[in-house]
Amino acid sequence: MFWNKEIECMDEEKLRELQLKKLKEVVKRVYERVPFYKKKFDEKGIKPEDIKTLDDIKYLPFTSKMDMREAYPFGLFAEPLSEIVEVHTSSGTTGKPVVAGYTRKDIELWAELIARSLTMIGVTKDDIIQIAYGYGLFTGGLGFHYGAQKIGATVVPASAGNTRRQIELMKDFGTTVIACTPSYALYLAEYAKEEMGIDPSALKLKKGSFGAEMWTEEMRKEIEKRFGIEAYNVYGLTEIIGPGVAHECPAKNGLHIWEDHFLVEIIDPETGETLPEGQEGELVITSLSREGMPMIRFRTRDITTLHREKCDCGRTLARIERIKGRSDDMIKVRGVMIFPYQIEQAILEVQGVEPHYQIVLTRPHYLDEIEVQVEMSKEVFSDDVKTIENLRKKLEKRVEEAVGVRVKVTLVEPKSIPRSEGKAKRIIDKRNLK
């Protein structure tokens, strides 16, 4: 199903024309209105008129998260506060939060993006959608809220947390669609079954839109199995607009980017060079339609691959692969780059172990040590120490193969790793790097 078929299935040439027109406009706007951009453009000796083709975007400077922190709070706004009707911030776990400002038109744009995304996976006005992303400064809750209302679906604004009530609502209201983080979805299923005696697959739930954290195909299968639903991947970020920048279609083969509003590039994170199509690298996004806070070449730190081949669903818009890693999440252990997703995938491959794990980094004797704590699952528990030890060794071997450094795997008791109601905290870094 399409929300805006004309755009979603647009002829590629026309799409490029539209993008170029919008790119020229947005570059001119930020140059004239945002001193931060003017300064950066001038430093590089580039004027808005120099952008003649889409390719010329490579002459424009990147914008980083660091730049955004320096511009805190409103330094990147291209409209006066009188035109800004809403602000959101990132979690700010590693410093000052990033602030995003939205004009009324930006909010409408956001709703359109989510409406397209949800319609794409078959959500209609007859659905009851429970939004279990946090409402508030976080973009997840309200972004989905606007989009789901635009479709005309019945919105249950449950927000994050209060797990028992979430399940009661799902059961009593007959919720058909859920939107939350994938780790919270798994927790919901577990809680329903074990704390409330409710079989999650017996609920009326049909599909879910999951995002705001990295997850894997294995986790998708697990969520689909436990709830008996179709699980889709959503992508977005506060700096650009929030959730809805890209979303999976029923083909589940990459996330379509709404290219009429976002111009994407894949770059080599080390050199900043643009990479050819089909090569893995860092996603860079330029927002073409934002009024309140347009972004020029924002470095997302997200690692993915871009595909332009036509999709089975009929959409012509490019797809990004599921986010593979985040340079911020990347951990360097003994000089080797490790992404948590590699570890997660390895654990899940060793059948039967529930995807609850934590990575603990220590440096006991001037050398990094990496410990992966994996919860023993009730399903695979054997009464025999030998069998359990074999499972542990198998896990250790698979994780080591996946990351390329020595790893210690520890099996811990069920439910001993704290459950998160938002983004899962996977890494505990106890190394004293001072």
Partner 1 sequence: MHKVEIISIFVENKPGKLEKITKILADSQINILGFSITSVKDFGVIKIFVDKTQEAYQLFKEKGFAVAITPAIGIEIVDKPGGLHEVVKFISSKGVNIENALVYVPESRKKAFFIFEVDNFEESLGALKNNGYNLLTKDYIK
Give percent helix, percent strand, percent coil of the chain, each to the nearest 5.
35, 25, 40
Nearer to partner 1, 91 or 416 (CB): 416
Which H or E run contains 116? helix 104-120
Assess contact for 363 and 432: CB atoms under 8 A: yes
Count residues near partner 1 (CB under 8 A): 19
Q: Per rule CB under 8 A, is residue 381 in the interface with partner 1? A: yes
Question: Sign of torsion, CA 161 165 167 171?
Answer: negative
Nearer to partner 1, 194 or 429 (CB): 194
Binding mask 357-376 for partner 1 (x = CB under 8 A): -------------------x
Nearer to partner 1, 280 or 400 (CB): 400
Q: Is 28 helix (H, G, I), strand (E, B) or coil?
A: helix
Provide the CB-side half-sphere exposure for 374 (13 A, CA).
Answer: 33
Q: Per rule CB under 8 A, is residue 196 in the interface with partner 1? A: no
Q: Per rule CB under 8 A, is residue 169 in the interface with partner 1? A: no
| Nearest-approach distance from CB 139 to partner 1, in angstroms | 34
Pick one of 164, 382, 404, 425: the residue that binds partner 1 (CB under 8 A).
382
Residue 142 makes CB contacts below 8 A (sequence gap 6+) with 86, 88, 135, 136, 242
Q: Which residues of 253-278 are buried (b: 16+ CB within 10 A; e: fewer)?
A: ebbbbbbbbbbbbbbebeeeeebeee
* CA geometry: angle 125, 113, 261, nearest 5 deg: 155
Nearer to partner 1, 374 or 402 (CB): 374
The pair of three-digit structure tokens given for residue 298, joined into one six-digit string: 């924002």
Q: Per rule CB under 8 A, is residue 316 in the interface with partner 1? A: no
Binding mask 412-431 for partner 1 (x = CB under 8 A): xxxxx---------------
Pick one of 82, 384, 418, 434: the residue that binds partner 1 (CB under 8 A).
384
Pick one of 6, 13, 43, 383: the residue that binds partner 1 (CB under 8 A).
383
| Nearest-approach distance from CB 117 to partner 1, in angstroms | 37
Rule CB under 8 A: which of 114-133 touch partner 1? none
Contacts with partner 1 by CB under 8 A lie at 194, 376-378, 381-385, 388-389, 392, 410-416
